[in-house]
Structure 1
Amino acid sequence: MPLICGKISYKFGLSETIKPGRILQALAAGTDPITGKVFSADSPYNQPEIIRALFFAIDQLEALAKKGNQGLAWSVEEDALLAQRFNDGIKITQLAKLH
Structure 2
Amino acid sequence: MPDSSVSPTLDLQLSWRGAYGRLRAFPGRLEAETDYQRPARTAVPMDEVQAWRLGPCDEDAVCVEFVTPQETYRVLLDTPDERVAELAVRKVLGPPQQEG
Shorter-chain-normalised TM-score: which range?
A: under 0.3
Give TM-score, length-normalised by structure 2.
Answer: 0.22
Bigger fraction of residues in strand:
2
Bigger fraction of residues in helix:
1
Give TM-score, length-normalised by structure 1.
Answer: 0.23
Relative contact order higher in (CA < 8 Å, ≥ 6 apart): 2
